[in-house]
Amino acid sequence: MSIYFVTGSCIGCETGIVEDGLKVTLLSLEGSGCVTESLDDPSKVDYFQGQEARFSSQEVGLAGCSGATLEGGPIGGSVMWTGTGIFAARFREICMELDNGEYKEQWCCEMVESAFSTNQAVLLEYCGQV
């Protein structure tokens, strides 16, 4: 599994390579789910306007969702910004690529709020296959 999105804006966010980041909780139609740690690639700046960030390993915070299949696809969840400042994903989209071994599926969910600040949870809804 990987989680990806494009940053719409990150006002007052860290400008160095240690950014903390987005914590994602996903729920599936079949009742399974997963929770990431704060998503942050320690080797680069992930959160700046127009940048696509993709997280696909335990080393960048995906540990709780690494290997999750989310049978039936995601139906919702939440995101929480753990860094400083105010984060917004472009088009309010948080996407994931699920790999069941035979094929890959891409799904996107929409954040209920367009932007949010540190430790504020925002629900994900309207999840659909891309």
Query: Taking 90 as the threshold, does the pLDDT of residue 11 lie above it?
Result: yes
What tokens were used for 71?
Answer: 């049978």
Q: The domain spanning residue 37 has which CATH number? A: 2.60.60.20
Domain limits for position 56: 2-129
Q: Tell me the pTM.
A: 0.93
Report whether 35 contacts 22 (CB < 8 A). Answer: no
Query: Taking 80 as the threshold, does the pLDDT of residue 36 lie above it?
Result: yes
Q: How many domains does the chain have?
A: 1
Whole-number percent of the chain with pLDDT over 90: 73
